[in-house]
Copies of this chain bind each other. A is one copy, B any other.
Amino acid sequence: MTQSNKDIDALIEMMAKLPGLGPRSARRAVLHMIKKRSLLMMPLADTLQTVAATARECLNCGNIGTTDICDICESEKRATGEICVVEDVADLWAMERGQVFKGRYHVLGGTLSALDAIGPDELRIPKLLDRVTSEGVTEVILALNATIDGQTTAHYIADQLEARQIAVTSLAQGVPIGGELDYLDDGTISAALKARKAI
C-alpha cells in the first residue's frame, strides 16, 4: 500500500486481516473512523484496549469474558441444573440470542476429530464430566453442530454420561422457522418427517 502515512497504513493492514474485510473495505472503514473520530474511533480504540487487556476464557465453562469466571457461571439465577454443551463461543452467543435457555453452558472448543488427532483431552470433556458431578447437573443438552464430527462428539459425550442418572438431550432437528420445504435439503426433510408430531 502506498498511502501517505505509516500509522494509517499499518492500521489499514491490520483491519484487512479481520474476517469479512479485505484491503478495500479496510481502507473504507479506516477513513470512516477517522472522519468520525470522537464519536466512533476514540471509543472503539478505548474499548478495544480494554477487551485486549482483559479478555480471557472462563475457567469453568470456556466462555469468553473479562473475568476468570464468566458472568453466566457467576450468576446464581443460571444454576438450573442444566448445562448446554456447544462447540464454540460463537454457538454460545447464538444460543443466548435465542433468549430461551436459562441454564449454564460448556464450550468444548471444537469437536472430536480422528483426522486432526483431536481426542477428548484436547477438548473440555473431562471438565464437563467434573462439572456434571460438582454442580449437581440434572440435564445435559448437546447443542453441537449437525456435522459428522459434531454428532460423533455428541455420541461420545452421551456414552460418557450414560452411567450417571441424568438426562442427556440434543436440539431438535427439523424445518427451520420461516424455511421453505422446496429449498431444504433431503436430510433435513427426512429428519423432520421422522420426528413429526401431532398438532
A residues at B contact (CB < 8 Å): 1-5, 7-8, 10-11, 14-15, 17-21, 25, 27-34, 37, 40-52, 54-55, 63-66, 70-72, 89-90, 92-93, 96-97, 99
Contact = CB atoms under 8 A, between A and B. Distances in A.
B3 A93 contact: yes
Given A4-B65, A19-B25, 13 more contacts: A4-B93, A5-B64, A5-B70, A10-B47, A11-B44, A14-B40, A18-B29, A20-B20, A30-B51, A31-B89, A41-B51, A41-B55, A44-B52
A34 B55 contact: yes
Contacts of A21: 20-21, 29
B34 A28 contact: no
A4 B40 contact: no
Contacts of A70: 4-5
Contact of A19 (B8, B32, B37, B63): B32
Q: Which 5 A-B pairs have the closest CB atoms?
A: A20-B25, A45-B48, A18-B29, A41-B52, A5-B65
Nearest to A90: B31
B7 A51 contact: yes
Given A19-B32, A31-B89, A8 B44 contact: no
